[in-house]
Amino acid sequence: MNTQPPADNANDQAANPEEAKTSDVEFSVSGGLAAMLAKFNISLAMTSYQSGLLYFIGRNKDGGINIHQAAMPKPMGLSIGERGVCQHKV
């Protein structure tokens, strides 16, 4: 997956996650991603410190890819605990 915020505001997005969620972000995925998610019946979650976003990647009802993003202040990583997914930040 390729995420590239415009170069002129990349640093502003990390400093202000509220602006990051309204920025235009382009995505491209490999041709086999939807099939792999279906085969293993999984979704993916990842963070981007640069954009200040948490991404959830899964399948839509038509079998294609659905990407949801949510603004998070300084997301540094994720883990799974007894209560589900937890965000880690510094």
For residue 28, the 8-state DSSP code is: -
Instruction: Determine the average pLDDT of the residues in 7-12.
Output: 42
Whole-model pTM? 0.60
**Three-state secondary structure call for residue 12:** helix
Written as six digits, the tokens of 68 are: 């949801």
List the domain boundaries for the chain. Answer: 7-88
Q: Give the model's confidence band at 35: pLDDT under 50 very low, under 70 low, under 90 confident, else very high.
A: very high
